[in-house]
Amino acid sequence: METRNKSSFTSSLGFILTAAGSAVGVGNIWRFPYLAAKDGGGLFLLVYLGLVLTFGFTLLTTDIAIGRRTGRNAWHAFGAIRPKWGFLGKLTFLVPAIIMTYYAVIGGWVLKYATVYLCGQRSQPAQDGYFIEFITSRVPPVVYLLVFLAITAFVVYSGVEKGIEKFSKVVMPILLLMIVGTAIYSLTLTHTDAHGVTRTGMQGLAVYLIPDFTGMTFSKFLNVLLDAMGQLFFSLSVSMGIMITYGSYVKKDVNLEKSIAQVEFFDTGVAFLAGMMIIPSIFVFSGTEGMAAGPSLMFQSLPKVFDSMGAAGTLVGATFFVMVLFAALTSCLSILETLVSTCMNIFHTDRKKVSLVIGVISAAAAVIVCLGYNVFYFEYTLPNGQTAQILDVLDYISNNFLMPLIAFLTAIFVGWVIKPQWITEEMEEQGAKFGKKRFYAVMVRWVVPVIMAILFLQSTGLLAKISTFIA
């Protein structure tokens, strides 16, 4: 039974832009800035950068090398290396299957906002309650989500080279240009509020970049670390099989170490620029209080900022949401591609049929998640104390529970069962140099398993139970 993937990227640039397309998403533009605002600006940036260069590098290298060496998706890859570890492939497959259902819902929200701004409306989305009213309504969010999913499914249906790679090669450079332009623009803003206080974009930049240690305690620092770690997984799309699939499409003559560094650079660069675009503008129009908005930052606080900009706000708002839409589409593509590619190998059917079937199943699941704000509404308290609806519960299961668990098991598998040498050989294919070979081995054998175990215990609430038991 052949389970190897037959598709491949045509060039190393195609691979880098497609992998970056998966990595750069709503997480970079929405989640990263609000976490940075909440967690002491520059302090969060420093912690995050440290994690990218250590954990990000190790996990991304592991996924991509496993994908290229086995030529398979996660589902079959682990079992092909060691049959006893086949379960890890199935567990890994669960993550994109879960994320798909709610990422498409968020994609639908972004599509709605992009449409509203493109239609020239600026003051409506700035009204209090606009967002809640939209997501709790029954029909519109479902319609937007279905359109978003249909676009994604169409690109996946068109294949790897003609669909995904081509789409990413066009969209990613545009996204980068738009984000650089908007970030520079936000530094030029000034605004005087009703109390006569004038704030500038450059002051906002200082708030973003200068570490804020006020009231910092060890446990607060631990929280910053956990936030940054969770963000890193989600942002780099690691430990969920996606980069294993993309790795399986990479040709042997591509230098993996270099490409991985470029993907990390792209992903972190966009997150950094997104913060530079959002934090100063929120600061200028709403002061430091506005920055604590958390998840509502993108859909509630930013529209108010665009509205305060006057006529320019419509254009800036439209540019912003089109940018987020591109980012969300290329990420959702990678999730759907992983599901489709895996099912093609399991059921031995062709891409077109599988894309349609998985597209329909995903749509049905996403509609249920979308109706979690009205028909299926409930309030559930997560181990971290947050009140959750269906979308948040799924997000918590995939990001806080499954991802650290999978990263832990994968690190044990690579570090102790097949040994880091297995990855190193792939990294050195065709005479390529793997400069960080030793560093990788130490990370994957020791550091990643220990930290992932702690993270897993923390996010399941077990760490708190253990510490009260000991104390």
Residues found near ligand PFF in the complex (CB under 6 A): 22-23, 25-28, 96, 99, 234-235, 237, 240, 242, 331, 334-335
* Minimal distance, residue 233 CB to ligand PFF, in Å: 9
CB of 132 to ligand PFF, least distance (A): 23
CB of 340: closest distance to ligand PFF in angstroms?
Answer: 13
| Residues in CB range of 119: below 8 A, 6 or more apart | none
Residues sharing a CB contact under 8 Å with residue 423, sequence separation 6 or more, in sequence order: 61, 62, 65, 66, 69, 414, 440, 444
Q: How large is the angle between the packed helices 57-70 and 218-236, nearest 10 degrees?
A: 30
Side chain identity, residue 117: Y
3-state secondary structure of 112: helix
Residues 6+ apart with CB under 8 A from 378: 372, 389, 390
Q: Which is nearer to ligand PFF, 24 or 443 (CB)?
A: 24
Q: Which is nearer to ligand PFF, 96 or 449 (CB)?
A: 96
Q: How far is CA 418 from CA 159, 410, 425, in A?
A: 33, 10, 12
Output 100 or 293, the one with its CB closest to ligand PFF: 100
Pick 242 or 284: Cβ nearer ligand PFF: 242
Please, are residues 36 and 211 in contact by the beta-carbon 8 Å criterion?
no
Instruction: CB nearer to ligand PFF: give 126 or 394.
Output: 394
Q: Which residue, 152 or 314, has its beta carbon nearer to ligand PFF? A: 152
> For ligand PFF, which is the closer residue by CB, 285 or 320?
320
Using CA atoms, how far apart are residues 144 and 110, in angstroms rounded to an integer? 9
CA–CA gap between residue 35 and residue 274 (Å, rounded): 12
> Least distance to ligand PFF from the beta carbon of 49, Å?
16
List C-alpha distances in Å: 345 to 72, 332, 403, 407: 9, 20, 23, 24
In 3-state terms, what secondary structure has residue 387?
strand
Q: Which residues pair with 211 in a beta bridge?
A: 41
Q: Least distance to ligand PFF from the beta carbon of 214, Å?
A: 29
Q: How far is the CB of 298 from ligand PFF (least distance, A)?
A: 12
Q: How far apart are CA 224 and CA 218, in angstroms?
A: 10
Q: Say how far apart CA 386 and CA 86 lie, in whole Å.
A: 34
> Smallest distance, Å, CB 347 to ligand PFF?
21
**Backbone torsions φ then ψ of 127, nearest 5 degrees:** -70, 145
User: Least distance in Å: CB of 332 to ligand PFF?
Assistant: 7
Shortest gap between Cβ of 28 and ligand PFF (angstroms)? 5
Nearer to ligand PFF, 27 or 303 (CB): 27
Q: Are 168 and 136 in contact (CB under 8 A)?
A: no
When the beta carbons of 248 and 255 are compared against ligand PFF, the nearer one is 248
